[in-house]
Amino acid sequence: MAKRYTVSDGKLVLAIEEADEGGYIVTSPLDPELITESETISEAFANARDALKALTRSRAKLMKKLPLASANR
């Protein structure tokens, strides 16, 4: 069974699980759509920040496309 840790840098809370092939699988208990991987813990935070930025941009684009969002402008 792979070890799983919950860690925080004061801004992000991440669940980090050791991957069978090495490195880590990185998720967030606060945002189920945030999923990435890394080789180190510090890389996990950097990759999670990048993934969060991409999710934020994607969600903003989606909101612009929703008919309800357009009607509220």
User: Any long-range contacts for 34-40 (C-beta under 8 Å, 24+ apart)?
Assistant: none
Say if 73 falls within a structural domain. Answer: no
Say if 9 falls within a structural domain. Answer: yes
* DSSP reduced 3-state for 11: coil
User: Diameter of the chain by CA atoms?
Assistant: 50
Residue range of the domain that includes 23: 4-66
* Interval 3-38: pLDDT, tens: 999 999 999 999 999 999 999 999 999 999 999 999
Q: Which of 22, 21, 18, 16 is nearest to 35 (CA)?
A: 16
For all residues of the chain together, what is the average pLDDT?
A: 90
Q: Quote the tokens at residue 10.
A: 């004061």
| pLDDT value at 53 more than 60 | yes
The model's pTM is: 0.80
More confident of the two residues 73 and 65: 65
Say if 71 falls within a structural domain. Answer: no
| pLDDT value at 72 more than 90 | no
| pLDDT for position 14 | 97
Say if 16 falls within a structural domain. Answer: yes
Q: How many domains does the chain have?
A: 1
Query: Which residues on adjacent β-strands are paired with residue 35?
Result: 27
Say if 44 falls within a structural domain. Answer: yes
